[in-house]
């Protein structure tokens, strides 16, 4: 079994809570209250800023030039592509870049981003990539599942753009590459003694991802 699949298997309860959270199902059904989605969009933008910092840390932690280039490509993808797409998506919901950047980060946003950065500071590139993987890979899995649900991509669903962005072949390829890179790092640096530590990191990062959905879900209830 590939390393990432082993991580998912060991954290199956946390992974299920994250990838099948009611917030995501409500997006596919088109029933998520708009206030909840707006709150999520703002916090996700703030999260992406910190995510870019984590990839910058990955450049520093990279043991090889190829790993450095991979991390640098991740920074560029976030700053030059994903954040621009996010701004456009936010604009469709009446949220300007100035308003988003002026918003305070929620506790859940701070907890998750600080955990990822702290994990990277304390550990090596493999530990950092494990902490990043629930977001990068999980969004692809979530969106693919949602896109297959009846009506999820219909014109009448206000959340079809978000679903389409992450279900699109381009992002699915990003996630597949992340799986391959994680497995490659594990092949080089994983030892039996480290596996339990990395499973703990993956569980915690996945739990914090679920908390991120829960943050938005609370707005809707």
In the numeric block, the tokens 């030039």 are attached to: 65
- Known catalytic residue: 135? yes
| 3-state helix/strand/coil string of 126-177 | HHHHHHHHHHHHHHHHHHHHHHCCCCCCCCCCCCHHHHHHHHCHHHHHHHHH
Q: Which residues contact 45 (CB under 8 A, 6 or more apart)?
A: 83, 86, 87, 90, 100, 101
Of 14, 108, 135, 204, the active-site residue reads 135
From 14, 82, 108, 209, the catalytic residue: 209
Residues 6+ apart with CB under 8 A from 66: none
**Alpha helix stretches (DSSP H) within the chain:** 3-10, 12-19, 22-29, 34-61, 65-76, 83-92, 97-102, 107-122, 125-147, 160-167, 169-189, 192-219
> Is residue 90 among the annotated active site residues?
no
Query: For residues 100 and 220, what is the distance between their CA atoms, to the nearest angstrom?
Result: 20
Q: Which residues are catalytic?
A: 135, 209
């Amino acid at each position: 079994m590939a390393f990432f699949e082993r991580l998912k298997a060991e954290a199956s309860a946390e992974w299920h809570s994250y990838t099948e959270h009611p917030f995501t199902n409500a997006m596919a059904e088109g029933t998520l209250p708009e206030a909840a989605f707006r709150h999520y969009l703002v916090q996700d933008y703030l999260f992406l800023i910190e995510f870019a910092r984590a990839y910058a840390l990955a450049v520093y932690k990279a043991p090889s030039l190829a790993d450095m280039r991979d991390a640098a490509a991740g920074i560029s993808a976030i700053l030059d592509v994903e954040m621009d797409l996010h701004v456009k998506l936010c604009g469709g919901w009446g949220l300007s870049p100035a308003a988003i950047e002026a918003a305070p980060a929620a506790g859940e946003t701070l907890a998750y981003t600080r955990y990822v950065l702290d994990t990277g500071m304390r550990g090596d590139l493999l530990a950092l990539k494990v902490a990043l993987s629930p977001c990068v890979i999980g969004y692809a899995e979530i969106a693919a599942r949602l896109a297959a649900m009846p009506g999820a991509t219909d014109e009448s669903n206000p959340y079809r753009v978000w679903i389409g962005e992450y279900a699109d072949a381009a992002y699915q390829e990003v996630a597949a590459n992340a799986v391959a890179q994680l497995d490659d790092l594990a092949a080089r640096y994983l030892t039996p003694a480290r596996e339990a530590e990395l499973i703990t990191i993956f569980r915690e990062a996945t739990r914090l991802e679920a908390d991120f959905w829960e943050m938005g879900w609370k707005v809707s209830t």
